[in-house]
Structure 1
Amino acid sequence: MADWIEKLPEAAREFLNGKRLDEVECVVSDLPGIARGKAVPASKFARQEYFHLPDSIFYQTITGEWADAAGDEGFIEKDMILKPDMSTASAAPWTGDTTIQVIHDAYDRKGNPVPCSPRNVLKRVVQLYKDQGWQPVVAPEMEFYLVARNIDPAKGIEPMMGRSGRPAAARQAYSMTAVDEFGPVIDHIYDFAEDQGFEIDGITQEGGAGQLEINLRHGDPVKLADEVFYFKRLIREAALRHDCFATFMAKPIADEPGSAMHIHHSVIDIETGKNIFSGPAGGETDAFFHFIAGLQNHLPAAIAVLAPYVNSYRRYVPDHAAPINLEWGRDNRTTGIRVPLSGPDSRRIENRLAGMDCNPYLGIAASLACGYLGLMEEKRPDKQFKGDAYEGEEDIPRVMGEALDLFEESAALAQVLGPEFARVYAIVKRAEYNEFLQVISPWEREHLLLNV
């Protein structure tokens, strides 16, 4: 066992220093981004090269039901071969014993990547960039709420109780006092992140009651998606230590801002190491504008991936820190596509549409896919929007059904993400949407029961 432990990433080795490793969690992301897998004794993991899980984990809805997406062979639950990516080995510091997690990649019996595995979808898109001599770079921002424990789905979600003994107050964006209210939870987030070797670029109070944002350093898309995947679990575990919940719902509390996963993009020429969005004199290149056009032209079809649940569409409302259209602008947070202030080397384009409820692998893959299509099509974007984009026309799907229609109609997006993934994803999401439509809401009972 000592040999493979010595080859672990530095943070994992430091975590294990002087300890006896008890268990290894072998995990893979399903479509919603839930960690699926097995926990095995460390001694067994040292002897195994792979393990099996049925491919049906990618046909399951968020409620645990099964969508009819198995294909021509039928629902036979074929075993996938899950192989560890040891570069992802990371501490699980909240467990009772000494445990590490390892993300696995999914292959079929012939050794081909399983096309429905979210990590494989992102790897596919990144490879398309590399085939053109480009290295995509992303920086995700994670927004989430710390809320009071909620074990009754019929009860509204409420902000957590702060350190002062008062519920977290809204509209205190960037307040250090507000951040201090959650100090004990944030301390645990920092401690867990350090154990896992993650570098946090900063934590800020956002505009909602109990809403925080964590920024991550820019880097490789797969590595950053791995970190967001791990971070969601890390943050939930830190919150539970302090009798509260962390939620990544896109819109958990009515009349409060939603939670986004803003994605910053740049693209590096592999041969020269230069940002292709900036020319020799530092100006904006054709590639810069083509990427923006790709986002404008293809994001409508990708919304079903960036906003994967019915709740996601409650976030797209005017004046609540979320976009309502696909306008682009420089240093303008009302637009769906924003160009932040930056120098030529760090010129980047921010997609503000993705919700924090999206699977990080799929959200980043879909966003990069739109930009890739723009680079291939070489079209120009609409004229830059100046002013308040909330005064512009809404052009984002407002319901899940409409977004799925656009997703299913886009042959171009399906080709980049993978036709088999696109087929399965649409079926699973249709099944979820149909499940939701069978639920009678409190609003319907209150206003329709005796009035219609």
Structure 2
Amino acid sequence: MPNQETEEQTPERASGVASLEEAREWLAARRIEDIECVVPDQAGVARGKMMPVSKFLAGPVMSMPVSIFTQTISGDWPHDDDLFQNDEADRDVLLDPDLSTLAVVPWEEDPTAQLIHDARYADGTPVDIAPRQVLRRVIELYEKRGWRPIVAPEIEFYLVRPNKDPDYPLAPPTGRSGRPETARQSYSIAAINEFDDLFDDIYDFSEKQGLEIDTLIHEEGAAQMEINLRHGDPLGLADQVFQFKRTIREAALRHDMYATFMAKPMSGEPGSAMHIHQSINNIETGTNIFSDADGEPTPAFFSFIGGSQKYLPAVTSILAPYVNSYRRLQRGVSAPVNTEWGYDNRTVGLRVPNSSPAARRVENRIPSSDANPYLAIAASLACGYLGMVGNVSSSEPVSGGANVDEIDLPRGLLEALALFEECEELVDIFGKAFVGTYRAIKHSEFETFMQVISPWEREYLLLNV
């Protein structure tokens, strides 16, 4: 797990310290001049402040307006009377540094560090709509039952040519051969080698930040890649995905490319997912509760799957958070279209990979790569939790192709939001404040989308209706 070692930490560590005094030594050892104090917003975008290290170490109380947690992806704010966090005064919330996330910013020319913060109100109460706090709340539900969730995300993304005019479609970049990809290159080493210099930077940047890449592969699409992270603590892994996205974008810009985590950036190409592998350990024994003493699957394993099957449609608005996300969820392609499950079956929404009993896990293949990692992991774990505490039964496993069947997931953002609001069990977990705020943000984004006329409308309606 990232930043979970128990031994004493030293300034030589790539990232993470345990105290302000250790942070002082860590920053001095690297001659850090500035520090980025960041907070993940609802979209997973880094918001925050830059300040000199001397000011940070002097211990000022940092604050930002609460409205950063209600901002839409287009930079607007919802106009909604039901917005639970609608503070007309837009008061400040206070920021507390999580020193375990301290890391360098390797792409900056001047020595710079970054530090993820949590938000709280003046009375010390955590900001309950902040994504990191939402995930913490779900983890605490597990801990009260004596369980510790373990996750391992896989993040897919595309490399594309710089696109300065959004009216033009995206296209694959040119690699070292001088030619862009045109054919399917799944798992091709040669296709990865086309961008060796870029991946060298990604590995270098990641190592300097203490980010742990397990594997890198070429996916199905043209210049589509996937990075797998090592399994560990859900909050630590969400932090890593948050940092990885930024790292990959910055590395791509150095090589005159964009890296995009859009769910469906190009017509005719596969979508990009964020698969989440999940298992649950007993806190006291450290054993996987999905397997019994004989290595057989337990009732908790099947109930986790049953809860995922029952509740994942109601959190689809979190796992597929934008209008574009639903273009990925189509029949007959690699994306799942339902909540069926199966052993080593990549056409279902819930795959159980081949593994030893100790590593038995459930892979949720529904989330898209545009999802906020904190919220997506929280939503996925919440569904499994409700299944286990409610003893929800799972269906029979599917052995054949399942992504050509009827689509059981919501087909659009508004339908998905309605399911989220109507599910009392999920509202109890996420809180009315978060659900109301999230709905208002997504409704506002949808209205912004409806103001844009698409090429499809010009193609088929302009001269025919």
Q: Establish whether TM, by shorter chain, passes 0.5.
A: yes
* TM norm structure 1: 0.96
- Larger deviation, residues 43-52 vs 200-209: 43-52
Distance in 2, matches of 1:79 and 1:154, equals 38
- Larger deviation, residues 276-285 vs 160-169: 160-169
2:105 counterpart residue number: 92
2:90 to 38, 63, 77: 77
1:121 counterpart residue number: 134
2:266 counterpart residue number: 253
1:356 to 360, 363, 369: 369
1:29 and 2:29 matched? no
1:139 counterpart residue number: 152
1:187 and 2:187 matched? no
Using the TM superposition, give the Cα deviation of residue 386 of structure 1 relative to its aligned residue in structure 2, in angstroms: 1.7
Using the TM superposition, give the Cα deviation of residue 65 of structure 1 relative to its aligned residue in structure 2, in angstroms: 0.9
Task: Write the mapping of 1:155-170 to structure 2, written as runs, cut at 5 A.
Answer: 155-170=168-183
Distance in 2, matches of 1:110 and 1:178, equals 54
1:406 counterpart residue number: 419
1:3 counterpart residue number: none
On the 8 A contact 2:317/2:420 being kept in 1, the answer is yes
Q: Do the aligned partners of residues 101 and 159 (structure 1) sit closer, same or farther apart at CA in structure 2, a change above 3 Å counting?
A: same
Distance in 2, matches of 1:288 and 1:127, equals 20
Using the TM superposition, give the Cα deviation of residue 389 of structure 1 relative to its aligned residue in structure 2, in angstroms: 0.5
Paired letter, 2:440? I
Residue 274 of structure 2: SS of its match in structure 1?
Answer: coil
2:293 counterpart residue number: 280
2:52 counterpart residue number: 41
Paired letter, 1:45? F
2:68 counterpart residue number: 57
Using the TM superposition, give the Cα deviation of residue 18 of structure 1 relative to its aligned residue in structure 2, in angstroms: 5.5
Using the TM superposition, give the Cα deviation of residue 50 of structure 1 relative to its aligned residue in structure 2, in angstroms: 3.6
Residue 271 of structure 2: SS of its match in structure 1?
Answer: coil
2:462 counterpart residue number: 449
On the 8 A contact 2:15/2:101 being kept in 1, the answer is no
On the 8 A contact 1:49/1:83 being kept in 2, the answer is no
Paired letter, 2:39? V
Q: Do the aligned partners of residues 170 and 225 (structure 1) sit closer, same or farther apart at CA in structure 2, a change above 3 Å counting?
A: farther
2:19 counterpart residue number: none
2:357 counterpart residue number: 344
Distance in 1, matches of 2:260 and 2:220, equals 15
Distance in 1, matches of 2:458 and 2:282, equals 57
On the 8 A contact 2:10/2:26 being kept in 1, the answer is no
Using the TM superposition, give the Cα deviation of residue 8 of structure 1 relative to its aligned residue in structure 2, in angstroms: 6.0
Paired letter, 1:364? I
- Larger deviation, residues 364-373 vs 433-442: 433-442
Residue 37 of structure 2: SS of its match in structure 1?
Answer: strand
CA RMSD of aligned residues (A): 1.6
On the 8 A contact 1:12/1:100 being kept in 2, the answer is no
- Larger deviation, residues 178-187 vs 60-69: 60-69
2:230 counterpart residue number: 217
Task: Write the mapping of 1:105-116 to structure 2, written as runs, cut at 5 A.
Answer: 105-116=118-129
2:77 counterpart residue number: 66
- Larger deviation, residues 55-64 vs 409-418: 409-418
* TM norm structure 2: 0.93
1:240 and 2:253 matched? yes
Using the TM superposition, give the Cα deviation of residue 441 of structure 1 relative to its aligned residue in structure 2, in angstroms: 1.1
Residue 52 of structure 1: SS of its match in structure 2?
Answer: strand
Paired letter, 1:352? R
Paired letter, 1:88? T
Distance in 1, matches of 2:248 and 2:345, equals 29
1:270 to 278, 283, 286: 283
On the 8 A contact 2:30/2:111 being kept in 1, the answer is yes
Q: Which deviations, in whole Å up to 9, do the C-alpha atoms of 1:122-179 show, x marking residues without a partner?
A: 0000000001000000000010011100110000000111111101234110000001
Q: Do the aligned partners of residues 444 and 358 (structure 1) sit closer, same or farther apart at CA in structure 2, a change above 3 Å counting?
A: same
Residue 355 of structure 1: SS of its match in structure 2?
Answer: coil
1:316 counterpart residue number: 329
Using the TM superposition, give the Cα deviation of residue 28 of structure 1 relative to its aligned residue in structure 2, in angstroms: 0.2
Residue 324 of structure 2: SS of its match in structure 1?
Answer: helix
Q: Which deviations, in whole Å up to 9, do the C-alpha atoms of 1:379-405 show, x marking residues without a partner?
A: 111111120112332201111111111
1:11 to 6, 14, 37: 14
Paired letter, 1:377? G
- Larger deviation, residues 47-56 vs 337-346: 47-56
- Larger deviation, residues 348-357 vs 45-54: 45-54
2:5 counterpart residue number: none
Distance in 1, matches of 2:115 and 2:12, equals 11
Distance in 2, matches of 1:170 and 1:101, equals 39
1:329 counterpart residue number: 342
Residue 350 of structure 1: SS of its match in structure 2?
Answer: strand
Using the TM superposition, give the Cα deviation of residue 108 of structure 1 relative to its aligned residue in structure 2, in angstroms: 0.6
1:426 and 2:429 matched? no
Aligned length: 447
Residue 262 of structure 1: SS of its match in structure 2?
Answer: strand
Using the TM superposition, give the Cα deviation of residue 199 of structure 1 relative to its aligned residue in structure 2, in angstroms: 1.3
2:408 to 395, 400, 405: 395
Residue 319 of structure 1: SS of its match in structure 2?
Answer: coil
